[in-house]
Amino acid sequence: MKLLLALLLLPVSLSVSAAMPEVDRYVEAKMADHLIPGLALVVIREGKVVHRRGFGELGTAQPIIIGSLSKAFTATAVMTLVEAGKIDLDAPMQRYLPASTFDDPGMAGVTVRQLLNQTSGLPADAPRADGHDASLAAHVAALRGVRLVSTPGTQHLYSSPNYQLLGRIVEVVSGESFGDYVQRRVLDPLQMTSSSTKGAGNAAPGHNLWWGWAGPSTYRWEPGRLPTASIVASADDLSRFVLWQLGGEPRILSDESRALLHRGVGKSEYFSYAMGWREGTTAGVPSLWHGGAVPSYRGAVVMIPQSRSGVIVLTNMSTMFADHTREIAAGVVASMEQGPRPEGFRPLRQVYALVAVGSLLLLGFAVHGLVRALRQPGGKEKWKIIAFDLLLPLAAIVVAPRIFHVSYRAMWEGAPDITLTVAVAVLLGVVAAVFKLVRRQDTVIGRT
């Protein structure tokens, strides 16, 4: 009896899965091209799951940290409060964040709708609070000194802090933590039982690529970034969310509010940003889509509202060099719609072959320089050794993060192999410079 009841509670749409050998072969080929250790795929047609399969290390029931796919859940949570009359989309956000003060007076005019549509003018590199365990309130407080780069409402600029602010608004208005509210109002009604806003303890192991090898990841789950990056979900659970987005039950929002989530407003070159979704085309087909990436995990979701279809692709690997999940999802959509698959993507195995060769060359030059410093006295004048061999590399290490707006932590988490290679090469260069100075000093003393 209990088994029968459990089966009845499962969405009927998840019980059907047809073989799609051509799609599976395509996915397997792309996994080999992009060095992907594990991938979960779900295909939806006409409001039903027609194919679901795990490849390699990742199954469709295994959750990962879904990155910016979290934004669609944040937008949904905000709209539930709009329908409850607790949030006005066109009210200034500071109506709901009275304790928040910003140095830029333009921030006072940013509305909730502009945050959702990513047209607030907040820069993409707006600061975050330090530490993996920083709270959502701390991340919002870190925005105090931020300066808008465009007039609110005039330009789309994708900036994750928009959704951090939205998450904090949810907390203030609802009186609950963001995670608790999303769990109660979105995840639980959709029976997303393997999803979590409390931690990533049940997530599949994630990977960084170390010179082309799927190795361990240094990334840790960040609780304060739930609204923009840290929700944990499986492909099966995301299929329930997508089915609801495509018009399914339960009634979390009215049809009008659900349609508003999908209406593109923030105009970009190839799409319009809606609310947690991009409205544009995928493989030439009108679609709503979004990607999500954190170090060691990556995902993509495509929805085709006209046919109530969709594709979900999750992987337990991420890299700074390519969006492999978006490419694979587009290829699956092309197969579904019998159109040409996207081309022009360079396989990551080729990219990482170059990374490996470049790393070996860089370390080889560094070792060669150290050996020469140990064997040959004299050489450059003292000031040149200090300026070019010692201070210049150290200055580059200090200045580079400021130029590229990336922290040392982000570099280590996103590209540990390159970061380690450069660090070792610089260290060897500094040691060589010190030996040059010591040998030169000894040589000068010997001459006198």
Which residues, other chains included, contact 410 with Cβ-Cβ below 8 Å and sequence gap of 6+? Answer: none
For 11, what's the count of Cα atoms within 13 Å in the CB-facing half-sphere? Answer: 24
431: burial class by Cβ within 10 Å (0-12, 13-18, 19+)?
middle
Q: Are residues 138 and 18 in the same domain?
A: yes
Last residue of a domain, one of 336, 362, 379: 336
Structural domain span for residue 274: 12-336
CATH of the domain at 204: 3.40.710.10
Which is it for the CA torsion 284, 121, 80, 240, positive or negative? positive
Beta bridge partners of 233: 64
Q: Are residues 328 and 353 in the same domain?
A: no
The answer to whether residue 247 sits within a structural domain is yes
The answer to whether residue 4 sits within a structural domain is no
Rounded to whole angstroms, how far apart are CA atoms 12 and 72?
A: 24
Rounded to whole angstroms, how far apart are CA atoms 170 and 249?
A: 23
Q: Are residues 310 and 360 in the same domain?
A: no
Last residue of a domain, one of 281, 308, 336: 336
Q: Are residues 236 and 369 in the same domain?
A: no
Determine if the pTM surpasses 0.85.
Answer: yes
The answer to whether residue 102 sits within a structural domain is yes
Q: Are residues 40 and 140 in the same domain?
A: yes
Q: Are residues 188 and 234 in the same domain?
A: yes
Q: Where are the beta strands (DSSP E) in 18-169?
A: 38-45, 48-56, 64-65
Last residue of a domain, one of 336, 367, 390: 336
Q: C-alpha angle with apex 263: 260 to 266, nearest 5 degrees?
A: 120
Cα dihedral 181→185→188→191 (10° resolution) = -140
Q: What is the DSSP string of 134-178?
A: --HHHHHHTTTT---SS-TTS-----THHHHHHHHHHHHHHSS-H
Q: What is the pLDDT along the chain (448 residues), one digit of tens a residue?
A: 333 334 333 443 444 456 789 999 999 999 999 999 999 999 999 999 999 999 999 999 999 999 999 999 999 999 999 999 999 999 999 999 977 778 899 998 999 999 999 999 999 989 888 888 899 999 999 999 999 999 999 999 999 999 999 999 999 999 999 999 999 999 999 999 999 999 999 999 999 999 999 998 989 999 999 999 999 999 999 999 999 999 998 989 999 999 999 999 988 888 999 999 999 999 999 999 999 999 999 999 999 999 999 999 999 999 888 889 999 999 999 999 888 888 878 899 999 999 999 999 999 999 988 888 888 765 667 777 777 677 777 777 787 777 766 777 888 888 899 999 999 998 888 888 888 887 766 554 444 5
Q: Are residues 189 and 221 in the same domain?
A: yes
